[in-house]
């Protein structure tokens, strides 16, 4: 049968994936990826250690922000404060332990406001070196280290997967690993793998996308204010991945009688490849150029030159595939694991027969149909809830007579998918309103060469069903390893039509006797293979979703004489 063919194919695949080369590559990949984890954990550890420095009262003699166009970074706080530690007086000129300043002036405005409110009265002293003290902790190093470590962990898991696959392939040359061990190893890899995808998507959504959209919606009410350019230039940022560019337009403005400064251009900030577009923007704002910026009335330190999100809105859809893949993979993994807990084998067939043969089993489609409705609603609500924010932005550009064609074209497939999800939700509601045939099997399981009876009743909507069928399906299932994945092949070896009618009276209520020959395969589930039996209900309804319900049943081997 196909069972044995699939098992041997699995062994052959494992041998091809195994070997010393795969093990060596897996070790190299894992070791190299571990560097990122170590660096990230070290950065987090250093940040945590620094956050535990004790505090001391300090006297701030000088505070200002140096803004120099050619400096790196261009905005550097200049401070000088004195403090006492163990009866001795010290002085320091450090705001942070390692960082010199910021590329974004707005990142220093909280510090500037704290100085104006005379709130900078404590500092943090290095207990190992009391002459070193800072005004602020670098808390971002902790989160940066965690993010960097998680990034490296993702690649470490890939390396572990390569190692497990290769070792499994090498060992299969001597003896095949049991399916249980394979499944446990696969689960140990898949859960962290999909978990990281889900967490990464959620992290980007919660800590980046949602705050950015909140700021965008808030900026709609920011007040226009006259501003003057202090300097404008294109800054380059080089790293191992290449060079990116960002416009740096530093400007001065007044609000409620006070003077403020900012170099925030748009909502997104950051840098990207392509210098020409940034240079074009900088050319439009030369030194001493007067223009209108938009000021946050609740925090005048916040200002923007451009408050439209533009094509960057497309980037905020980035976490959706990660969330879908991550949670989809986790649900599939756990659901698959749960389904393997309900087994019927030859070893317990006799006991199962004795405990269930005197009972009946009822099958109703209501719970399954409600589950489909709930699932379709949650998916459609999540997807369309996010896409609707972008849709409203595009819609506003069309209402103003200046449509954003790039964002419109980019967003169109996402909107169409969302509409499809909405239609699918209503389709599930319509399907739930279908005729709902209830099946009753007596006894609860079918024993080979022993009669069983199947009863059905349809209490509503039977007159809408043009054709009604009930099938008994026997299905062979074979599972085998293909690399780190567990592949399942299925094939139908038995299909019998139990009833077929278009008479509403017979659709409403009926019964039939079922007898399976003694040489038929009973329900069975082993480590790699399974024989499963289903009752399949089908009903054709014109201009309406058809009835499609499947129910898993148990078929037992023939009675054996008591010894």
CATH of the domain at 525: 2.60.40.640
String of DSSP letters for 228-289: EEEEEEEEEEEETTEEEEEEEEEEEEEETTEEEEE---SSS-S-BS-HHHHHHHHHTS-TT-
Of 333 and 521, the one with more pLDDT: 521
Question: What pLDDT is attached to residue 112?
Answer: 84
CA distances in angstroms from 465 to 386, 424, 454, 542, listed in the order given:
39, 21, 20, 8
Per-residue pLDDT at 2 exceeds 50? no
Q: Residue 223: which pLDDT band, with cuts at 50, 70 and 90?
A: very high
- Cα(92)–Cα(131) distance, integer angstroms: 8
* Average of per-residue pLDDT across 482-511: 85
Question: What pLDDT is attached to residue 139?
Answer: 67
* Average of per-residue pLDDT across 111-119: 85
Question: What pLDDT is attached to residue 15?
Answer: 40
Same domain, 442 and 552: yes
**pLDDT tens profile 124-157:** 999 889 999 999 877 666 777 777 777 777 777 7
Same domain, 464 and 548: yes
Share of the chain above pLDDT 90, in %: 29
Same domain, 378 and 298: no
* Average of per-residue pLDDT across 154-173: 65
- Cα(229)–Cα(73) distance, integer angstroms: 19
**Is residue 463 assigned to a domain?**
yes
Per-residue pLDDT at 343 exceeds 50? no
Residue 359 is given by DSSP the state S
- Cα(204)–Cα(319) distance, integer angstroms: 6
SS3 305: coil
**pLDDT tens profile 297-307:** 999 999 999 88
- Cα(19)–Cα(29) distance, integer angstroms: 16
Of 499 and 560, the one with more pLDDT: 499
Same domain, 444 and 542: yes
Helices 405-432 and 366-399 sit at what angle, rounded to 10 degrees?
A: 160
SS3 464: helix
Question: Any residues with CB less than 8 A from the CB of 105 and at least 6 apart, and which?
Answer: 65, 67, 75, 250, 261, 262, 263, 264
Give the best-scoring range by mean pLDDT among 27-36, 238-247, 408-417: 408-417
Same domain, 259 and 300: yes
Same domain, 469 and 388: no
Domain boundary among 112, 136, 160: 136
**Is residue 61 assigned to a domain?**
yes
Question: What pLDDT is attached to residue 8?
Answer: 37
Q: Is 529 exposed, middle or buried (0-12, 13-18, 19+ CB in 10 A)?
A: buried
Question: What pLDDT is attached to residue 17?
Answer: 39
String of DSSP letters for 156-204: HHHHHHHHHHHHHHHHTTTSPPPHHHHHHHHHHHHHHHHHHHHHHHHHH
Question: What pLDDT is attached to residue 337?
Answer: 58
Residue with tokens 């082993």: 526
* Average of per-residue pLDDT across 342-363: 52
**Is residue 98 assigned to a domain?**
yes
String of DSSP letters for 124-151: EE-TT-TT-EESS--THHHHHHHHHHHH
Per-residue pLDDT at 563 exceeds 70? no
According to DSSP, the residues that pair with 293 across neighbouring strands are 225
**Is residue 19 assigned to a domain?**
no
Same domain, 430 and 442: no
**Is residue 403 assigned to a domain?**
yes
String of DSSP letters for 470-505: EEEEEEEEEEEEETTEEEEEEEEEEEEEEEEE--HH
- Domain span at residue 78 reads 54-136
* Average of per-residue pLDDT across 504-525: 90
Residue whose C-alpha is closest to residue 535's, from 450, 441, 432: 441
**Is residue 244 assigned to a domain?**
yes
- Cα(204)–Cα(434) distance, integer angstroms: 41
Angle subtended at Cα 396 by Cα 392 and Cα 402, rounded to the nearest 5 degrees:
140
Question: What pLDDT is attached to residue 71?
Answer: 87
Per-residue pLDDT at 13 exceeds 70? no
pLDDT, the chain, mean? 79
Task: State how many domains the chain has.
Answer: 4
What's the token pair of residue 358?
């005197």
Domain boundary among 110, 136, 162: 136
Share of the chain above pLDDT 70, in %: 80
Domain boundary among 254, 280, 306: 306
Cβ atoms of 161 and 484 closer than 8 Å:
yes
Per-residue pLDDT at 281 exceeds 80? yes
**Is residue 240 assigned to a domain?**
yes
Pairing mode of beta strands 485-501, 438-442: unpaired
Question: What pLDDT is attached to residue 423?
Answer: 92
Same domain, 388 and 449: no
CA distances in angstroms from 187 to 159, 190, 480, listed in the order given:
15, 5, 14
Question: What pLDDT is attached to residue 315?
Answer: 65
How many CB atoms sit inside 10 A of residue 253's CB? 20
Poorest-confidence range of 231-245, 310-324, 368-382, 395-409? 310-324
Q: Residue 405: which pLDDT band, with cuts at 50, 70 and 90?
A: confident
Question: What pLDDT is attached to residue 10?
Answer: 38
Q: Cis omega before residue 443 (within 30°)?
A: yes
Cβ atoms of 295 and 223 closer than 8 Å:
yes
Question: What pLDDT is attached to residue 11?
Answer: 38
Poorest-confidence range of 57-66, 384-393, 410-419? 384-393
**Is residue 206 assigned to a domain?**
no
CATH of the domain at 233: 2.40.50
Question: Any residues with CB less than 8 A from the CB of 414 and at least 6 apart, and which?
Answer: 317, 387, 390
Poorest-confidence range of 64-68, 315-319, 355-359? 355-359
Backbone angles phi, psi at 441, to 5 degrees: -105, 125
Q: Is 274 exposed, middle or buried (0-12, 13-18, 19+ CB in 10 A)?
A: exposed
What's the token pair of residue 130?
């009391």
* Average of per-residue pLDDT across 353-378: 75
Same domain, 68 and 131: yes
Helices 179-204 and 140-171 sit at what angle, rounded to 10 degrees?
A: 160
Same domain, 487 and 538: yes
Same domain, 113 and 91: yes
Same domain, 376 and 449: no
Per-residue pLDDT at 354 exceeds 70? no
């Amino acid at each position: 049968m196909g069972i044995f063919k699939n098992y041997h194919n699995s062994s052959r695949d494992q041998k091809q994936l195994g070997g010393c080369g795969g093990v060596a590559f897996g070790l190299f990949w894992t070791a190299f990826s571990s560097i990122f984890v170590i660096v990230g954990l070290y950065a987090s550890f250093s940040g945590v250690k620094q956050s535990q420095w004790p505090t001391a009262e300090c006297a701030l003699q000088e505070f200002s922000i140096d803004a120099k166009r050619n400096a790196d970074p261009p905005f550097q706080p200049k401070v000088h404060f004195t403090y006492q530690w163990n009866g001795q007086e010290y002085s320091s000129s450090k705001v942070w332990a390692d960082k010199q300043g910021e590329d974004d002036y707005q990142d220093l405005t909280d510090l500037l406001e704290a100085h104006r409110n005379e709130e900078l009265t404590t500092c943090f002293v290095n207990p190992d070196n009391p002459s070193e003290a800072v005004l602020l902790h670098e808390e971002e190093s902790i989160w940066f280290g965690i993010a960097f470590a998680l990034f490296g962990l993702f690649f470490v898991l890939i390396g572990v997967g390569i190692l497990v696959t290769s070792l499994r392939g090498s060992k299969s040359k001597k003896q095949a690993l049991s399916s249980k061990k394979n499944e446990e190893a696969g689960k140990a890899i898949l859960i962290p793998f999909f978990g990281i995808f889900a967490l990464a998507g959620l992290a980007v959504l919660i800590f980046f996308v949602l705050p950015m959209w909140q700021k965008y919606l808030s900026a709609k009410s920011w007040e226009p204010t006259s501003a003057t350019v202090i300097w404008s230039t294109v800054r380059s940022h080089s790293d191992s991945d290449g060079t990116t560019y960002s416009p740096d337009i530093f400007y001065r403005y007044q609000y409620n009688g006070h003077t403020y400064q900012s170099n925030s251009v748009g909502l997104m900030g950051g840098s990207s490849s392509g210098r020409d577009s940034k240079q074009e923007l900088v050319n439009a704002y030369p030194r001493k150029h007067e223009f209108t910026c938009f000021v946050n009335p609740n925090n005048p330190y916040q200002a923007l030159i451009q408050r439209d999100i533009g094509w960057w809105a497309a980037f905020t859809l980035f976490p959706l595939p990660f969330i879908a893949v991550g949670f989809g993979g986790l649900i599939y993994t756990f659901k698959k694991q749960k389904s393997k807990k309900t087994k019927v084998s030859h070893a317990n067939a006799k006991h199962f027969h004795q405990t269930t043969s005197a009972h009946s089993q009822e099958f109703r489609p209501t719970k399954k149909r409600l589950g489909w409705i709930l699932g379709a609603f949650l998916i459609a609500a999540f997807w369309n809830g996010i896409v609707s924010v972008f849709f409203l932005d595009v819609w506003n550009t069309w209402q103003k007579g200046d449509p954003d064609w790039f964002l419109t074209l980019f967003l169109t497939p996402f909107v169409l998918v969302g509409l499809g999800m909405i239609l699918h939700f209503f389709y599930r509601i319509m399907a739930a309103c279908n005729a709902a045939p209830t099946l009753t099997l007596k006894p609860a399981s079918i024993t080979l060469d022993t009669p069983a009876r199947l009863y059905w009743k349809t209490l509503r909507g039977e007159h809408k069903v043009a054709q009604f069928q009930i099938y008994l399906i026997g299905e062979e299932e074979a599972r085998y390893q293909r690399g780190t994945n567990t592949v399942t092949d299925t094939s139908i070896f038995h299909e019998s039509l139990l009833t077929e009618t278009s008479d509403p009276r017979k659709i409403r209520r009926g019964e039939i006797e079922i007898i399976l020959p003694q040489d038929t395969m009973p329900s069975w589930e082993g480590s790699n293979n399974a024989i499963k039996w289903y009752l399949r209900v089908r009903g054709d309804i014109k201009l309406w979703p058809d009835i499609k319900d499947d129910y898993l049943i148990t078929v037992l081997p023939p009675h054996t004489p008591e010894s």
